[in-house]
């Protein structure tokens, strides 16, 4: 990665996706969560939701709606050396079936650190703010991706 602070604030893309009952059910099943609140409207309403809620971390499905995602290449990152560092979610409210979420991802920070085996690692923090069909904030997701040091001729650079 050749750039650093000049990338802060750069918008990497926008994605829009619906919160659908079938997908929420599948996501809950993949988490081995048997809670009927994620499957049955009546159970969701008894629990105080207006509709079936999306399980925590559901926003990761947005990646499946990004056609030809070039975020890493637009940052100049070598995908072969990129690792997922961490991810956090801040909820303003729980997304529910019927919502249509739109998220815009931007670069929050870029930091370079020495690698434990030499060379330089680049840590890029990305932030995505998701809003509903009315433009109201629903959740904010932050993730850190790490580009590890390059290996050149058997050593790291």
For residue range 42-68, list pLDDT tens digits in order: 999 999 999 999 999 999 888 766 655
Beta-carbon contacts of residue 113 (< 8 Å; ≥ 6 apart): 120, 121, 123
Beta-carbon contacts of residue 69 (< 8 Å; ≥ 6 apart): 13, 63
The CATH number assigned to the domain holding 51 equals 3.10.129.10
- Taking residues 83-108, report their average pLDDT: 95
- Distance, in Å, from the CA atom of 93 to the CA atom of 72, rounded to the nearest integer, reads 29
Q: Which range of residues forms the domain containing residue 56?
A: 5-156
| pTM for the full predicted model | 0.83
The domain tally of the chain equals 1
Q: What is the DSSP letter of 116?
A: B
Residue 30 vs residue 156, higher pLDDT: 30
- Distance, in Å, from the CA atom of 13 to the CA atom of 131, rounded to the nearest integer, reads 14
The confidence band for 1, taking pLDDT boundaries of 50, 70 and 90, is: very low
Least confident of 36-45, 60-69, 102-111: 60-69
């Amino acid at each position: 990665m050749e750039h650093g602070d000049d990338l802060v604030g750069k918008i990497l893309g926008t994605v829009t996706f619906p919160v659908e009952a079938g997908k929420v059910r599948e996501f809950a099943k993949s988490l081995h969560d048997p809670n009927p609140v994620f499957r049955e409207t009546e159970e969701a309403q008894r629990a105080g939701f207006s509709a079936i809620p999306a399980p925590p971390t559901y926003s990761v499905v947005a990646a499946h709606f990004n056609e030809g995602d070039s975020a890493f290449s637009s940052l100049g990152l070598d995908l072969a050396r990129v690792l997922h560092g961490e991810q956090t979610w801040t909820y303003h409210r729980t997304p529910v079936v019927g919502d249509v979420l739109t998220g815009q991802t931007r670069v929050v920070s870029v930091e370079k650190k020495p690698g434990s085996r030499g060379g330089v690692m680049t840590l890029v923090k990305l932030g995505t703010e998701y809003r509903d069909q009315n433009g109201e904030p629903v959740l904010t997701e932050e993730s850190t991706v790490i580009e590890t040091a390059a290996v050149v001729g058997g050593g790291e650079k």
